[in-house]
Amino acid sequence: MIYNDPQLVHIVQQVVEVAGTLAFAVSGIRHAAAKHFDWFGGYVCGIAVAIGGGTIRDLILGVPPFWTTDISYLLFTGLALLLTIASRKMMKKLDNAWFVFDTLGLAAFTIAGLQKTVELGHPFWMAIVLGCITGVAGGVIRDVLLNNVPVIFHKEIYAMASVAGGLLYWLLYSISFSLPFVVIATFLFICVIRFLAVYYHLSLPTLHDER
Amino acid sequence: MIYNDPQLVHIVQQVVEVAGTLAFAVSGIRHAAAKHFDWFGGYVCGIAVAIGGGTIRDLILGVPPFWTTDISYLLFTGLALLLTIASRKMMKKLDNAWFVFDTLGLAAFTIAGLQKTVELGHPFWMAIVLGCITGVAGGVIRDVLLNNVPVIFHKEIYAMASVAGGLLYWLLYSISFSLPFVVIATFLFICVIRFLAVYYHLSLPTLHDER
Amino acid sequence: MIYNDPQLVHIVQQVVEVAGTLAFAVSGIRHAAAKHFDWFGGYVCGIAVAIGGGTIRDLILGVPPFWTTDISYLLFTGLALLLTIASRKMMKKLDNAWFVFDTLGLAAFTIAGLQKTVELGHPFWMAIVLGCITGVAGGVIRDVLLNNVPVIFHKEIYAMASVAGGLLYWLLYSISFSLPFVVIATFLFICVIRFLAVYYHLSLPTLHDER
């Protein structure tokens, strides 16, 4: 089985993280394009989505932000910017691909946050919080920079897929399943929840004010 | 006198902090409700008010954020969310109670920020700055997430009550009053300023632009 | 030559940093005035521009924020607030001076970020990123607090002047020029780019959305 080969799992994890980083950067750049930002503004919004969540996680954990030792996140965001500049039509046609990549990113970043927090000896509730922050906070920063209301606060289920993944990770980990199995199960679980949420337009109940 | 019994002061401090945390969380959740956020969005806005200021303080101080070793802040915010979902009418009726609790929170959080900064050996001007940040920055984050102009920048005196409390704390501390007395006097001072400001609609002068 | 006298370079650097800090604070306060913030709101916006970029840099570098050991940044912001309150007309008349000071600030803060990052042993790409953050992130925080779309994302070249300065710094440093020469050349380069950009209304190309 695949999950008995840690090296293969690692390679798959890296491919998925690159796809996710690209999708996150593209999301920031395209939102910036909708507001007619210039190339620099697009790049900043792209990098904010790609590294924002992980940076907040690392500041809370008190460790150096993950991207400070690896220039590739900046380069992938540059690539995403070039792609967007080169062909808006192509980007539009790839909408479904970007949606899939974005979901892979959500799952991969959540798991990266879960693992890093647990490895540093924090309790599991912290891991779930920081897994969710790693997965979704970048998109919130993007919306704040764009002067939009954060989309994850009122659209289809997104952050809750990350939280549900965190809970499953905790459960399987506690039952002493092997780590690769836990990671793969969590990954698929997050993706399935997100796909179902978008397909069936599932969202959390809305709060109402008093008036 | 009460301020000669440090243990009693400590218990009162804890009760006040819980009331303040609840009030801060409720403030975030109700503001989110006014924008029709979903439950997750409401929770995030609630937690942002409850822990945002203290988190910024701790990042500046270079210590782990206070809530990372104590899950109760997350649970109190969950409780605040349940209360808000369960009964909007009750929340509306409790408006005055929430206002009082919010003021207790402002005073308690300011003092927590003052004490933590002084204990870590920083000068008093830093303590006043970080006391104010602990008390009011959560509300600013809430307003930024909700895409509102921060309310403390143009309404009744709020942050200045925190700053005034910090100055009094410094003064009394310098005259070598006992710590419990300093804390209680500062606490009451902040509450009184805030109550007077709201009762008499006191606000700072407004800036005007050149046109 | 001036760049052979490190002490003179240091004095000039300090004068320029004070002028830049004042200009940055004034920029925050005047933007706040345009939204009719009160004095406290103006002060917070001023301090956000003056210290925001350097604070983010220091949090990423894992060192205490530079202003925590030096109260002068808070005092200069207070001075800027007093000036703005005292005479709006004078501030308006000084528009050109503030523009020049702001450009000096952009160059000085960029160089401060470059030097601090290199001194801590980070690679040059990190220095360029953090130099840019030191120079421009304060203005982004100001715009977020004011509920505006960040102006550097869609106006004349500003952040790119900082990045270009970082690249020149790297180049000259690699060719082993003396540090004072590298600093002065970078400083003038950033100022010239910024002046040309505003004079000729140079801006980066804009992104377009798909519709």
* Residue A38 DSSP label: B
Nearest by CB to B36, from A126, A140, A206: name it: A206
Q: Which chains touch A (3 or more CB pairs under 8 A)?
A: B, C
B135-194 residues touching C, CB cutoff 8 A: 140, 144, 147-150, 152-154, 159-160
Angstrom CA distances, A185 to A4, A62, A122, A165, A192, stand at 13, 29, 22, 9, 11
Alpha-carbon span B207 to C86, nearest angstrom: 11
Please report the pLDDT score of residue C180 as a whole number: 87
Which residues in chain A are closer than 8 Å to B55, comparing Cβ atoms?
A: 60
Q: Do the beta carbons of residue B50 and residue B73 sit within 8 Å?
A: yes
Q: Do the beta carbons of residue A193 and residue A166 sit within 8 Å?
A: no
**A122 band by pLDDT with thresholds 50, 70 and 90:** very high
Question: For an interface test with A, which of C163, C193, C207, C211 has the most A Cβ atoms less than 10 Å from its Cβ?
Answer: C207
Question: For an interface test with C, which of A35, A36, A38, A143 has the most C Cβ atoms less than 10 Å from its Cβ?
Answer: A38
The pLDDT tens digits of the residues spanning B122-140 come to: 999 999 999 999 999 999 9
**A114 band by pLDDT with thresholds 50, 70 and 90:** very high
Please report the pLDDT score of residue B76 as a whole number: 95
Which residues in chain C are closer than 8 Å to A85, comparing Cβ atoms?
A: 205, 207
Q: Cβ separation of B122 and C37 shorter than 8 Å?
A: no
> Coil, strand, or helix at residue B38?
strand
**B81 band by pLDDT with thresholds 50, 70 and 90:** very high
Alpha-carbon span C3 to C184, nearest angstrom: 7
Nearest by CB to C153, from A38, A59, A89: name it: A38
Nearest by CB to C126, from A59, A68, A92: name it: A68
Nearest by CB to C210, from A38, A85, A92: name it: A92
Please write down the HEC assignment for all residues of C21-34: HHHHHHHHHHHHHH
**A160 band by pLDDT with thresholds 50, 70 and 90:** very high
Q: Is the pLDDT of residue C112 over 90?
A: yes
**A208 band by pLDDT with thresholds 50, 70 and 90:** confident
Q: What is the pTM of this model?
A: 0.94
Alpha-carbon span C61 to A2, nearest angstrom: 39
Residue B172, amino acid? L
Mean pLDDT of C109-136: 95
The pLDDT tens digits of the residues spanning A3-38 come to: 567 677 778 778 888 888 999 999 999 999 999 999
Backbone angles phi, psi at B124, to 5 degrees: -65, -35
Alpha-carbon span A175 to A162, nearest angstrom: 20
Residue C197, min C-alpha distance to chain B (Å): 25
Mean pLDDT of B88-94: 80
Please report the pLDDT score of residue B24 as a whole number: 94
- Average confidence score pLDDT of chain C: 91
- Average confidence score pLDDT of chain A: 91
Please report the pLDDT score of residue C4 as a whole number: 63
Interface predicted TM-score (ipTM): 0.91
The pLDDT tens digits of the residues spanning C166-207 come to: 999 999 999 988 888 999 999 999 999 999 999 999 999 999
Please report the pLDDT score of residue B210 as a whole number: 65
Nearest by CB to C91, from B204, B206, B210: name it: B210
Which residue matches tokens 């909007």? Answer: B88
**A179 band by pLDDT with thresholds 50, 70 and 90:** confident
Among B57, B32, B54, B55, CA closest to B43: B32
Mean pLDDT of A73-89: 91
Which residues in chain A are closer than 8 Å to B44, comparing Cβ atoms?
A: 153, 159
* Buried b / exposed e along C42-60 (16+ C-beta atoms within 10 A): bbbbbbbbbbbbbbbbbbb
Please report the pLDDT score of residue B156 as a whole number: 81
B95-124 residues touching C, CB cutoff 8 A: 122-123
Nearest by CB to B153, from C44, C55, C84: name it: C44
Q: Is the pLDDT of residue A43 over 90?
A: yes
Q: Cβ separation of C147 and A147 shorter than 8 Å?
A: yes
Residue B176, min C-alpha distance to chain C (Å): 24
Mean pLDDT of C8-13: 76
The pLDDT tens digits of the residues spanning B49-80 come to: 999 999 999 999 999 999 999 999 999 999 99
Q: Cβ separation of C210 and A71 shorter than 8 Å?
A: no
The pLDDT tens digits of the residues spanning B152-186 come to: 998 888 999 999 999 999 999 999 888 889 999 99
A1-40 residues touching B, CB cutoff 8 A: none
Residue C6, min C-alpha distance to chain A (Å): 31
DSSP string, chain C: -GGG-HHHHHHHHHHHHHHHHHHHHHHHHHHHHHTT-BHHHHHHHHHHHHHHHHHHHHHHHTS--GGGG-THHHHHHHHHHHHHHH-HHHHHHTHHHHHHHHHHHHHHHHHHHHHHHHHTT--HHHHHHHHHHHHHHHHHHHHHHTT---GGGTSSS-HHHHHHHHHHHHHHHHTT--HHHHHHHHHHHHHHHHHHHHHTT--PPBP----
- Average confidence score pLDDT of chain B: 91
> Coil, strand, or helix at residue A210?
coil
pLDDT > 90 in chain B, percent: 75
Mean pLDDT of C83-100: 84
Angstrom CA distances, B125 to A81, B113, B128, B167, B174, stand at 44, 12, 5, 9, 13
Chain B interface includes C78 (CB < 8 A): no
Backbone angles phi, psi at C196, to 5 degrees: -60, -40
The angle that helices C179-199 and C6-34 make with each other, rounded to 10 degrees, is 30
